[in-house]
A = this chain, B = another copy of it.
Amino acid sequence: MELNQIYAPIVDDLSKIEDSIKKVGQVDFKWLAQLLEQSLGVGGKRIRPALTLLSGHFFNYRLEYLIHMATAIELMHTATLVHDDAIDKSFTRRGKETIYKVWGTEAAILLGDYLFAKAGVEVSDTQNVRAIRLFSQTLMTISRGELNQAKNSYILNQTREDYIQRIYGKTASLFCLSTESGGILSEAPEGAIQTLRQYGNDLGLAFQIVDDILDFIGTEKELGKPAGSDLTQGTFTLPAMLLNERYPQDNPIKRLFLDRSKKENIQQAIEQIRNSNIVEECYRIAGEYRDSACRALKELPTDPAAEALKNLADFVVTRRN
């Protein structure tokens, strides 16, 4: 199913979030307006804003607050990407040139900070201290997770539990924020808030596992950046872990991590993973998280949003970009 079909129950409201994001770029400082246009204009799938709206649909759907929240989350997400690109020295993202590429490290750092700040203003317009606090806690989790990833780059001695913890920090925590805040702002009972959080968590883990698969099997056109970029940064993801588990004596991951100048191992790892059933095994694991996310949905009241969230979970594990 296509995203626009899945988003049907909230399609008008999603466009209000688009407008709200567009408004962020309307500032009277020309260079800043340019930077905002370049970083926010590229769109993306807007999964996180959709999650907030859909999660807010089960109880008291207070659209104004949900729009502020979803805008804040999208701005925070963009800020982390702008900073990541400066850290990784990435030239392309979603097929476009990055802020780092066009304007350099200084602009990337400061634009990211500005976006964090604007996100903070947006989230405070929800008038809900619990949601505001959760927002900042999530950014703590994300930055801590990124530091942890940096610390563990090119390190083979990591378990699958380490990996799951790492992708929770990197991705699932923001999915949790998106769904939990929808519950909080719609005055859902505590049990439903926790159920929504659980759904967001499992969906986020499935999403990131698929992202990590696609980094091996996707084309540059699909990915909007070169394949193998995780290995280029020394990030040890699930497919690479499975390859290393299967050939513990010698494999391209091990060779690359021992000597990161041997870049030919990246291509070799990609080929070896593509020609094995590792991809299938990773999809099976992602599918388990998808199933767990969908089970959580059964605890929520009957609402068109439940069907949309189920379809979104299916989309996440079948998408090609």
> Interface residue count for A (Cβ, 8 Å)?
45
Q: State whether A120 touches B147 (Cβ < 8 A).
A: no
Which residue of chain B lies nearest to A125 when distances are taken between CB atoms in the complex? B133
Residues of B within 8 A of A80 (CB): 113
Selected contact of A29 from candidates B83, B109, B119, B147, CB within 8 Å = B147
Which residue of chain B lies nearest to A148 when distances are taken between CB atoms in the complex? B29
Q: Mark interface residues in A111-137 (1 if CB within 8 Å of B CB, else 0).
A: 111101111110111010100110111
Selected contact of A121 from candidates B27, B124, B140, CB within 8 Å = B140
* Distance to closest chain B CB from A168 (angstroms): 14
Distance of A107 Cα from B87 Cα, bound (Å): 9
Does A110 lie at the interface of the complex (its beta carbon under 8 Å from any beta carbon of B)?
A: yes
Q: State whether A113 touches B139 (Cβ < 8 A).
A: yes
Selected contact of A120 from candidates B87, B107, B139, B144, CB within 8 Å = B139
Does A150 lie at the interface of the complex (its beta carbon under 8 Å from any beta carbon of B)?
A: yes
Selected contact of A116 from candidates B27, B32, B35, B139, CB within 8 Å = B139
Q: State whether A137 touches B121 (Cβ < 8 A).
A: yes
* Distance to closest chain B CB from A230 (angstroms): 16
Q: State whether B31 touches A110 (Cβ < 8 A).
A: no
Q: Which residues of A contact B (CB under 8 A)?
A: 27, 29, 31-32, 35, 80, 83, 86-87, 105-107, 109-114, 116-121, 123-125, 127, 129, 132-133, 135-140, 142-144, 146-148, 150-151
Can you list 6 residue pairs at the A/B interface with Cβ under 8 Å? A29-B144, A87-B109, A107-B147, A110-B150, A114-B147, A116-B116
